[in-house]
Structure 1
Amino acid sequence: MEGDDSLTVVYQLNNVTVKYADRAALNNVSCTIQEGKWISVIGQTGAGKSTFAKVLKGLILTIDGEYWINQQPAHRDAKGQLKVVPEIGYVFQYPEHQLFETTVYKELAFTPRLQGYSQQEIEILIETILAQVGLSEEIVTSVPFQLSGGQKRRVAIASVLMMNPKLLILDEPTAGLDPASRDAMLRLLKKWQQQENRTVLYLSHQMNDVAEYSDEVIVFQAGRLMGHMDTNALFLDNAPLLEQLGLSLPEPVQLLKLIEELSGQKIEVPSCREQDIFEKVWQIKHARSF
């Protein structure tokens, strides 16, 4: 997809290949990630999603190709290996497994203390971040391992947000959560992303969530980048691509396609988001029957 030149290109991969033994986990991938967008990454298991995200974070030391950050080559060590990019936050699947401190306060204060923040600055930051992830301040004295599963997840994500990352990578962060908890978590993260025009890279198998929260979608298959486009363009106009890759349409879009088939007409909707589609379907339902 051609980007808008008025937006700052923050991260850029040029012809990047990553090999594990004889297998190419990424194969000649070129891609740009722009500021202020929620960009989802989709594909079957083993398509290259996590490898792509780890390259951006600098967790894969050796790559073929170029990696640029803010129009400068990504930092490498004396051996030419990529260094970890500190301004990128990375939330793994089951991030609560990364908790290690004895209280929530110590967990959240760990990174800013290393970065030289004062006690007062840390306390203000913790108060702000806890509110952003939907936790009360009283939780700071709790032992992380004694919290509920949902609370642990939020504390772990809060510890990453304490870094105030310029790019936040979310690798299936709602894995194992029930639908209500998943929706609540994603709404909080979307609000955080929009507040200061931050950038999110969201790896997911949940097409409904991808359609609901994304500005753009990157599609991988067998290590190859198959598309990078506007979310509405992908789900409303490129169903054959998804079918070719064995990926399903979001359920609201499936409903829309069914109504189009039954009515024999193309139905224009503002977006692929659930509310926009359901409102249009509701209008049609009251206008005619099939």
Structure 2
Amino acid sequence: MGYELKNVTVTYEHRTALKNISCSIADGKWIAVIGKTGAGKSTFVQLLKGLVDFKGEYRLHNKLITLSGKGQPKDLQEIGYVFQYPEHQFFETSVYKELAFGLKQRGQSEKEIRASISAMLATIGLDETILTLAPFQLSGGQKRRVAIASILLMQPKLLILDEPTAGLDPISKSSILDLLKKWQLETNHTVLFVTHQMQDVAEYADEVIVLHEGEIKAHLTTNQLFLQQAHIVTNAGLKMPEQIQLLQVVEQLLGKKIAVANCKEHTIFNAVKPYLQFRGKINA
């Protein structure tokens, strides 16, 4: 396993944010982290990035990670962290300088930096004409893409996305999640995706970690959670994705289970559509 936690606890003053949690995060997966506000989601991913002190055992590729209080261990530099509003962290005067900053710190030549940035802009769907612009001149979606690109340029093996599409319109949101999913599949790297949007979990995640009151209540495949263990979601105070709610309603009306291959929206809609047509709920 790439990243393993064993009996880990995180405490802030007199409040315990994570309680004796244990889990393993495999390489090459898109893993959603869900839970109500205050469940411990952000603390969980900050722990993995080495941003909070903890008690317990944390292993990265079987190597024990220890926080010394002198900064983040170099081992954790392979973990990229995209904050909820990453564009708020822009500090350079042009998009080029913003993207080049981390590469310069790694000692890349100007030629290497330009080649890396050019390739990354193609990956995230931005034109090179934006490189001379100041970041604040960009649209909301463009800013978010540039912020994400600055992290991807560091070639993280684990990418943490803490509500990465907050504040974006639906089209921009889907576009960014699609490109990140494409990146994850092409690189076979790992994504930890913190979100409140159950639809996005169903569409993009391979696995789901459910947090509730600082404890891990489940770590299952997305299909297992939504199609077989739905009570875990509701017990954590969360709503099911809309397509799962539809499936449940139709199954109740029929009095039987409907076989579905996975929990993605189009799959479930196609599975229930004949029954809805039969009852005159939608047009044929």
What letter is aligned with 2:206? D
2:46 matched to which residue of 1? 54
Structure 2 gaps of 5+ residues are none
1:36 matched to which residue of 2? 28
- Following TM superposition, by how much is the alpha carbon of 1:150 offset from its aligned partner in structure 2, in angstroms? 1.1
User: Does structure 1 residue 20 correspond to structure 2 residue 12?
Assistant: yes
Residue aligned with 1:129, SS? helix
> Does the Cα contact within 8 Å between 2:50 and 2:67 map onto a contact in 1?
no
- Following TM superposition, by how much is the alpha carbon of 1:82 offset from its aligned partner in structure 2, in angstroms? 5.7
Q: TM-score, normalised by structure 1?
A: 0.93
Structure 1 gaps of 5+ residues are 1-8
User: Does structure 1 residue 243 correspond to structure 2 residue 234?
Assistant: yes
1:139-150 residue pairs with structure 2 within 5 A?
A: 139-150=130-141
What letter is aligned with 1:42? I
1:268-279 residue pairs with structure 2 within 5 A?
A: 268-279=259-270
> Does the Cα contact within 8 Å between 1:74 and 1:82 map onto a contact in 2?
no
How far apart in 1 are the matches of 2:70 and 2:170? Answer: 44
What is the RMSD computed on CA atoms of the aligned residues? 1.4
How far apart in 1 are the matches of 2:171 and 2:12? Answer: 38
1:203 matched to which residue of 2? 194
Q: Where in structure 1 do 4 or more consecutive aligned residues deviate above 4 Å?
A: 79-82
What letter is aligned with 1:72? K
Change in CA separation of 1:102 and 1:80 when aligned onto 2, cut-off 3 Å: closer
How far apart in 2 are the matches of 1:170 and 1:81? Answer: 21
1:223 matched to which residue of 2? 214
How far apart in 2 are the matches of 1:200 and 1:143? Answer: 29
Residue aligned with 2:77, SS? coil
1:83 matched to which residue of 2? 73
What letter is aligned with 1:83? P
1:244-263 residue pairs with structure 2 within 5 A?
A: 244-263=235-254
Q: TM-score, normalised by structure 2?
A: 0.95
1:6 matched to which residue of 2? none
1:116 matched to which residue of 2? 107
How far apart in 2 are the matches of 1:113 and 1:262? Answer: 61
Change in CA separation of 1:157 and 1:81 when aligned onto 2, cut-off 3 Å: closer
* Per-residue deviation, residues 93-125 of structure 1 (Å, max 9, x unmatched): 111101111111110010011101122221121
Equivalent pairs: percent with the same residue?
55
- Following TM superposition, by how much is the alpha carbon of 1:222 offset from its aligned partner in structure 2, in angstroms? 0.8
How far apart in 2 are the matches of 1:83 and 1:196? Answer: 24
How far apart in 2 are the matches of 1:251 and 1:262? Answer: 17
- Following TM superposition, by how much is the alpha carbon of 1:282 offset from its aligned partner in structure 2, in angstroms? 2.2
How far apart in 2 are the matches of 1:234 and 1:224? Answer: 17
* Per-residue deviation, residues 60-87 of structure 1 (Å, max 9, x unmatched): 1x2110110000011543x698636211
